[in-house]
Amino acid sequence: DIARWQKMSSKELREACGAEEVPTSGCIEKADIVQRLQQVRTWQLMSFVALSQECTARGVSVAFDFSTHADLVNALRVHAGFPPAGAAALEAQCVIRGIPFSRLGVEEAREALHAVQHLEGCKMSELRRVYERWGLASEECLEKTDILRNLTQI
């Protein structure tokens, strides 16, 4: 990968960074961009044990007993000032559903998205119960999309 990246133009490198969700702000030289890509690739290829040691060495706090390889890579990405992998796709899904991604952290946005997706999978009778449990007046004429929109705004 490194040899291929070194042959790329700055524009191509920035596109590669976009695909890997590696920010390029502050990178003036191509070597800086290549170094960021290389760092992320190195973390992706490291074993779980090596990632755990890397997190410890960098002072990155994670729950090792419950973490996956991807969790450790994301913890290192965030520690380095990069967004976690998948943040762009998560943001797109949140925007589609009216979840204020920019006001929430990535984890809070992910939790909100999962909650909304759960509601989307509910039957109308279940949605009405949730609607009433949250103290909202249930009107018989409300459509499922209206109930979902109202619950999502809470």
* End-of-domain residue from the set 47, 62, 86: 86
Residues 105 and 81 in one domain: no
Residues 10 and 80 in one domain: yes
* End-of-domain residue from the set 62, 86, 110: 86
* End-of-domain residue from the set 86, 116, 139: 86
As a dihedral over the C-alpha atoms of residue 132, residue 138, residue 143, residue 144, rounded to 10 degrees, the angle is 0
Which pLDDT does position 56 carry in this prediction?
Answer: 92
Which pLDDT does position 138 carry in this prediction?
Answer: 64
In angstroms, rounded to a whole number, what is the distance separating the alpha carbons of residues 60 and 62?
Answer: 6
Domain hosting 132: range is 88-153
- Report the domain count for the chain: 2
Which pLDDT does position 76 carry in this prediction?
Answer: 94
Residues 21 and 82 in one domain: yes
Which pLDDT does position 8 carry in this prediction?
Answer: 93
One-letter amino acid for residue 68 of the chain: T
Which pLDDT does position 141 carry in this prediction?
Answer: 58
Residues 93 and 82 in one domain: no
pLDDT mean for each 10 residues of the chain (154 residues): 88 90 86 93 95 92 81 90 82 85 82 85 83 73 74 71
Which pLDDT does position 16 carry in this prediction?
Answer: 92
Note if the pTM is more than 0.75.
Answer: no
In angstroms, rounded to a whole number, what is the distance separating the alpha carbons of residues 113 and 100?
Answer: 10
